Amino acid sequence: MRIGIDTYPLIGQYAGIGIYLYNIIKYLEKIDKENEYFLYAPNAIKSFEYNPKWRIRITKGFFNKSGTFWKQTRARKDLLKDKIDLFWAPNAILPANLPNSIKTVLTVHDLTYVLYPKTLKWDNKIIFPLFFRKSLKKAGEIIAVSESTANEIRKFIPEINNKISIIYEGISGRFKLIDKYEAKKYISKEFNISQKYILTVSTLEPRKNLNNLLKAFLILIRDNPRLDYQLLIAGGSGWRNSNIYKTYQELNLNSKQVKFLGYVHSDDLIELYSGAEIFVFSSLYEGFGLPPLEAMACGTPVVASNIPVFREILGDAALLVDPFAPEKIANAIYRVLTDNALAKNLMQKGIERIKLFSWETTAKETLGIFEKIIRRKNNG
């Protein structure tokens, strides 16, 4: 079987879909010795340069500017030339003009376009209305990263229910328990910050709800002046985030209280999670949500939004709270910071919870979808 993959999400710094795709193809390379893979991308993916079954196809000219542009204009020609049997789109958009001979699988990470369209980047506000619904209907199989996302797809297009499979994302083995004292020392020196800190990790964008987290932190330190903690916000700059900095200024916060770290490399991220007293993820909406699980893997107690996907993914291993209520977020943080028994219980439950999520399992189940659709093709 000749499998084509859109690897445009691997451009630049990995986040979200890039992390998902990188880990799956890393394990597919290890476990799949039968099939051939063709990775379509604007630049070489060095990890696979020397594996004869994994071929890099560099898209040139205008096509290396946009994965969507390549898919809707050049993909058909490239896939037919490579005699692709199956094409996988890990970011929910398929080429519109593929022949029926090329079977398709797409992964849906969330339905932000449907549920929170105002939080999208300008380009996605154009792309998703044009191609998302058509891609869902055209796909031979759809992978949803959670039951929550699958339910949202079913409500959006009920008639495609029979081709949805749920495959959870995984947690890298790199995120693990390390010495917290040493982690705190390292982070304090590396980022010039306090050794007592509360952490969140997310791209700076509207649905991450950082405005309410900033308000919650102000309530926390205002009502509990003896608590000497700094809030660290780690993550690259996304879109429509000027309001976050505006809120920061309006609340009269300063860098000794709240510090924006920008994008943090995964090596430092392990230390950052490990040194935190508590990890907070107050997102309004997610399709899955890796950061709270990564924090759990590093032994840090988690406070997260009480939204459907976190009730599913995190269960009782996190303290779940209303993301629209800053005072409730502040109270939850206070409880974990001041109740050692609660913090220890969350830490222990978190360590057990992350055993449910493995990238190797994700890759095996994804390969199972590929094989299922090709068997169906071969059987007529």
Give me the pLDDT at residue 65, please: 62
Torsion sign, CA atoms 27, 30, 35, 37: positive
Written as one string, the DSSP assignment of 233-248 is EE--B-SS-HHHHHHH
SS3 198: strand
C-alpha pair distances (Å), 272 with each of 32, 186, 334, 354: 34, 9, 20, 18
Instruction: Report the alpha-carbon angle 118-235-184, nearest 5.
Output: 145
Q: Which helix (H) or strand (E) holds 291?
A: helix 290-297
- The length of the chain is 380
Domains contained in the chain, CATH given? 2-170+358-378 (3.40.50.2000), 180-356 (3.40.50.2000)
Q: How far apart are CA 127 and CA 113, in angstroms?
A: 10
Cβ atoms 331, 293 nearer than 8 A: no
pLDDT in tens, the chain (380 residues): 999 999 988 876 666 888 899 999 999 999 999 999 999 987 766 666 667 788 888 887 665 566 777 888 888 999 999 999 999 999 999 998 899 999 999 999 999 888 777 766 767 777 887 888 999 999 999 999 999 999 999 999 999 999 999 999 999 989 999 999 999 999 999 998 888 999 999 888 888 999 999 999 999 999 998 889 999 999 877 666 778 889 999 999 998 999 999 888 878 999 999 999 999 999 999 999 999 999 999 999 999 999 999 999 999 999 999 999 999 999 999 999 999 999 999 999 999 999 999 999 999 999 999 999 988 877 76
Q: Which helix (H) or strand (E) holds 153?
A: helix 147-156
Q: How far apart are CA 213 and CA 326, in angstroms?
A: 7
Q: How far apart are CA 62 and CA 306, in angstroms?
A: 43
pTM of the model: 0.90
Pairing outcome for strands 302-305 and 278-281: parallel
Q: Give the rounded distance of the alpha carbon of 290 from its chain centre.
A: 5
> Torsion over CA of 127, 132, 133 and 135, rounded to 10 degrees?
120
